[in-house]
Amino acid sequence: MKRLAAFSFWIFWGLSMANGQAVKVAEKISENELALLKNQKLLVIDFWASWCAPCIPATRQMEIYQERYKDDIYFIALSDEYYGTITNHLKRHPIKLAVYQDADNFTFEKYQVKARPHVAVLNSQGRLVWDGKPGDLSIEKLDHWLRKEQKRQTEHLASLIEVQSSPEFLSEEVVVDNLEVDLCGGDCTAHLDIHEEYVAFQGKLSALMAKLYGVSSFEVIMEYPDVDIQAKVPISPWRNDPESIAKQISAQFGFEVSEVTREMDFQELVPTVPDKLWDNAQINWGNVDNRVLIGTSRIEADDLSIRELAVLLSLQKQTLFKYSGDDKSPRDWDFHYKYDDLMKNELWDQFGIEVRNRRAAIPVVLVN
237-281, pLDDT tens digit by residue?
Answer: 998 999 999 999 999 999 999 999 999 999 999 999 999 999 988
Summarize pLDDT for 186-243 with one digit per residue, the tens: 667 777 777 778 888 888 999 999 999 999 999 999 999 999 998 989 989 998 999 9
Are 179 and 200 spatial neighbours (Cβ–Cβ below 8 Å)? no
Q: pLDDT band for position 105 (50/70/90)?
A: confident
Please answer whether residues 180 and 249 qualify as being in contact, where contact means their C-beta atoms are separated by less than 8 angstroms. no
Q: Are the C-beta atoms of 352 and 271 separated by less than 8 Å?
A: yes
Ordered domains of the chain (ranges, CATH): 17-168 (3.40.30.10), 180-255 (no CATH), 262-367 (no CATH)
Cβ neighbours of residue 109 closer than 8 Å, sequence gap 6 or more: none
- pLDDT, residue 300, reads 85
Tell me what pLDDT residue 342 has: 95
Determine the Cα–Cα distance for residues 33 and 50; give it in Å rounded to an integer.
Answer: 20
Q: C-alpha distances in angstroms, 45 versus 158, 272, 338?
A: 13, 44, 27
The larger pLDDT score, comparing residue 6 to residue 351, is at 351
Angle between helices 55-68 and 139-148 (to 10 degrees): 50
Which residues are bridge partners to 263 per DSSP?
Answer: 361
Q: Once rounded to an integer, what is the mean pLDDT over residues 26-52?
A: 90
State the average pLDDT over residues 45-74: 91
Distance of alpha carbon 353 from alpha carbon 267, whole angstroms:
12
Over residues 119-173, the pLDDT tens digits come to 999 998 888 999 999 989 999 999 999 998 887 655 577 888 888 754 444 444 5
**263: Cβ–Cβ under 8 A, 6 or more apart, which residues?**
359, 360, 361
Q: Is residue 259 packed enough to be buried (19+ CB in 10 Å), middle (13-18) or exposed (0-12)? A: exposed
Per-residue pLDDT, 286: 63
Q: Residue 343 and residue 354: Cα distance in Å, rounded? A: 10
CA distance 147 to 361: 65
Please, which pLDDT band fits residue 323 given cuts at 50, 70 and 90? Answer: very high
Provide mean pLDDT across the span 281-289: 71
**Are the CB atoms for 285 and 56 separated by under 8 Å?**
yes
CA dist 249 and 252 (Å) reads 5
Say what angle helices 205-213 and 242-253 make with each other, to 10 degrees. Answer: 150
pTM (global) more than 0.85: no
